[in-house]
Structure 1
Amino acid sequence: MGTRKVAVITGANGGLGYSIACRLLDTISPSVPLTIVVTARYLRKAVETINRLRAYASNRDLLSFDYVLLDLSSISSIDEVAHQLLSRYTHIDYLFCNAGGGDFTGIDWPAAFIEVISGPKNAVTHPHFKRERIGRISRDSLGWVFQINVFANYFFVKQISTLLSGGGRVILISSIETEIAHKFDPEDVQLINSDQPYVDSKKELELMHAAIAERWAEELDVQIYLTHPGICQTSIFAEYLNWFTTFGMLCLFYIARWIGSPWHVITPYKGALAPVWAAVDAVPEADPVDGIVYASATDRWGRPYVKPTHNASTEDRKNGAILVEVMDKLVEDSLERIKVEDK
């Protein structure tokens, strides 16, 4: 029996988050004591997720669960969760920053039809037909999508950095769609004016990683891996699809995979391969954290593998430094505001 491992998975009740937990259970030996800390916004979701995971791993004796209620759209909630973890644990081995989302409003169906007819593989790899709300502001007076996908992860990791130091691993979840992101705008870091804030926020996550991964590895011995799950079925856009369009989308996924796309992994469990590999199996000397995205991929027959992609450019590092400087100031401002609210 080895030392107990502790894994925190944000958004563990969702398709990819739940699949990360399942794959983690399948990857780490049952002889290793393991605690999985589930985060969810609501108690019911947290309890349901833990019950499902208990059933999934019913043969493991050295497994325990914990939960915290986390709302990424509230900096106070993130700060409270950080304090809870600091009071319960002395070390966290794996932090999967999976939770997040987009402020989608629907699908431009005529544009979707044209894109599918023009190039079905590209239409389901780099779609331009998803509609997003522009200018949504969080209760913390920040760009809402920027907050939940970028700043919340940065703030959370900084707040629990003492638990991660000395070998902990942080797994960030990006997206293949960053290939169609807008150019970074230092005048709109919070993406309030962006017409595709979800994609642009995932690109900012990559910029953030390019700015901090090497430094945190050297200064804190925290390995921050950047991954993406390929393209798989999740609930992030499900409300805008019915059974017919869902079936059509799946057919296009399989077609795209068959004609050569490595990214259409389709199932969340296969999408969870790269994040779990980065947490458990990656070797920093051979699999460096700096500037690389490790992606879940499959061959034509659906056999999954991890595919390194996208080396950060000099411009990415420059823009990442600007982004981190802005976020460091936001961290200071947020902590000051929390102090005032607590008085």
Structure 2
Amino acid sequence: MAINVARPYPIIIVTGANSGVGFAVCQRLIEQLASPIPPDSLLKPSDEKSDLSCPLAPTQKLSLILACRNKGRAEKAQKLLWDALDKRIRWLKSRAGYNGHAEAFRKNLTIDFIQLDLASMDSVFSFTEEVESRYPYVSHIVMNAGFLPIIGLDYIYAIKEIFLDPARAVTQPRFMIQAEGLESPDGLGMVFQSNVLGHFSLFRELEGLLHKNPSGDSRVQWLSSLDCNAGDYDPADIQIRRGTYPYEASKFQEDLIVTALAHQAAANPPKEGEAHIQHSLSTPGICHTANTGPVLNFILELAKQASFYLARLFGSQNHPIDSYKGAVAVVYAILAPLAIL
């Protein structure tokens, strides 16, 4: 199947892309875009013939940028993504009506790694400078990377919460002990810089490239969390140096910023010839990732995972558990027509 790679194509940055939900977002994106009509862009299968089609489909090409701290892990992620795509292509080829799109897409796919440490402003600026030197524009940024400063568990409170409010205990637990007052190498609040300032600065530095997207529709997708809690945020403590739950506070602060950016974008239409930038929030729900690895042993990790499945068994819609499933909301927000978001 011949495709015209001169047509505008997506250039997508995903932070924290080497593992967890970030990796799952990358995997779903390349697998979805390997199909002429990405299934994740549809509200239901019958929408395939709808006039509201995926603005990226059929894709001619994709440049996927893995923005990660660790080079070794990023290179491993690159290999796993290529393997996942090849597996997807084999499955697509076995289906009736396959037209060769996936193989043509693969030839024009690039999966690049550019080092990014959100806790270092020098790293953020180096990253954006390299992006500006290598790519003519950016179409999407997925602000996924995050830092949870967990250092232990309050076992007494955990037992109490599990018995008195089990739904909250497995969805928005309050028994995780987090480090307070952590400072980044730049002398800023570590959680604030890693989860809020780093991503905000990344957007501002790349705002010009987002406006240059020739398709006219650029999107910045911010990953929030069910842990987001207004009660944990103190407006007088902008750098989140105090407080028992800095992660939850940072997620609420991020939500405030994204809401403000979305309102600004709506109130100030882009100049003629510039792409509109759409900001939106989504959450992957509760996924079994390694973020609690430093404080949970093997038995407790199994217990945590079992509790997630139990919650889902009792009807929870917040527990996809598998990061690949948790990435659906994020990928949908990237692929779906803007008119229905």
Short-chain TM bin: 0.7 to 0.9
1:24 to 2:78 alignment: no
Distance apart, 1:181 and its partner CA: 4.0
Written as runs of structure 1 = structure 2, the 5 A alignment for 1:151-190 is 151-165=197-211, 166-178=216-228, 180-182=229-231, 184-190=233-239
1:130 equivalent to 2:176? Answer yes
* Residue identity matched to 2:224: S
Instruction: Quote the residue 2:330 is aligned against.
Output: 275
Q: C-alpha separation between the residues in 2 aligned to 1:250 and 1:47?
A: 28
* 1:174 counterpart letter in structure 2: S
Cα distance in 2, alignment partners of residues 215 and 285 from structure 1: 19
User: What letter matches 1:286 in structure 2?
Assistant: I
Computing the radius of gyration from Cα coordinates, the structure with the larger value is 2
1:295-326 Cα shifts (integer Å, max 9, x gaps): xxxxxxxxxxxxxxxxxxxxxxxxxxxxxxxx
Equivalent residue pairs, number: 285
Residue aligning to 1:115: 161
Give the secondary-structure state (helix, strand or coil) at the position aligned to 1:182: helix
The reply on whether 1:99 has 2:145 as its aligned counterpart is yes
State the AA in 2 paired with 1:187. Answer: A
Gaps of 5+ in 2: 36-58, 90-105, 271-275
Determine which of 192, 196, 199 is the counterpart of 1:146: 192
Q: Please, which moves more after superposition, 216-225 or 267-276?
A: 216-225
Q: In structure 2, what is the Cα distance between the partners aligned to 1:192 and 1:115? A: 26
Q: Is the 8 A contact 1:120 1:252 kept in 2?
A: no
Q: How far apart in 1 are the matches of 2:194 and 2:269?
A: 26
Q: Provide the rounded CA distance (Å) in 1 between the counterparts of 2:290 and 2:218.
A: 29
User: C-alpha displacement at 1:98, in angstroms?
Assistant: 0.7
Further displaced range: 219-228 or 126-135: 219-228
Alpha carbons 1:101, 1:149 under 8 Å: kept: yes
Amino acid at match of 1:37: I
Aligned equivalents of 1:4 and 1:62: distance in 2? 10
Q: Is the 8 Å Cα contact of residues 216 and 222 (structure 1) preserved in structure 2?
A: yes
1:260 Cα deviation from its structure 2 partner: 2.6
Tell whether 2:67 aligns with 1:39.
Answer: yes
Shift of the 29–55 alpha-carbon distance from structure 1 to 2, 3 Å rule, reads closer
CA separation in 1, counterparts of 2:190 and 2:243?
12
Identity over aligned residues, as a percent?
32
- 2:293 corresponds, among 238, 259, 273, to 238
Deviation at 1:219, TM superposition (A): 3.5
Distance in 1 between the 2:146 and 2:232 partners? 21
Residue 246 (structure 1) shift: 1.5
- Does residue 50 of the first structure (1) align with residue 78 of the second (2)? yes
Correspondence 1:286 to 2:286: no
Runs of 4+ residues over 6 Å off in structure 1: none
Aligned with 1:15 (options 20, 32, 44)? 20
Q: CA deviation at 1:236?
A: 1.3
Partner secondary structure for residue 134 of structure 1: coil
Residue 259 (1) aligns with residue 287 (2)? no
In the TM superposition, residue 100 of structure 1 has moved relative to its aligned partner by 1.5
1:67-118 deviations in Å (ceiling 9; x for gaps): 1100111001001100100111111112111111111111112211221122
1:203 is the counterpart of 2:252: yes
Unmatched tracts of structure 1, length 5 or more:
288-343
How far did residue 239 of structure 1 move?
A: 2.1
Q: CA RMSD in A?
A: 1.5
Show the counterpart of 1:226: 281
TM-score scaled by structure 2? 0.80
Check conservation: 1:121, 1:255, Cα contact below 8 A.
Answer: no
CA contact (8 A) 1:121 1:252 kept: no
Give the conservation status (yes or no) of the 8 Å contact 2:233–2:250.
Answer: no
Taking the aligned partners of 1:193 and 1:234, their CA distance within structure 2 comes to 26
TM-score scaled by structure 1?
A: 0.79
Match of 1:72 among 94, 109, 118: 118
Cα shift at 1:286: 2.6
Deviation at residue 43 of structure 1 after TM alignment: 1.6
* Pairwise CA distance, 1:216: 2.4
Q: CA deviation at 1:160?
A: 0.4
Deviations 1:187-221 (A, max 9, x none): 10111112100011001111111111132254441
Q: Whole-Å Cα distance in 1 between the matches of residues 116 and 190 of structure 2?
A: 16
**CA–CA distance in structure 1, aligned partners of residues 250 and 243 of structure 2:** 10
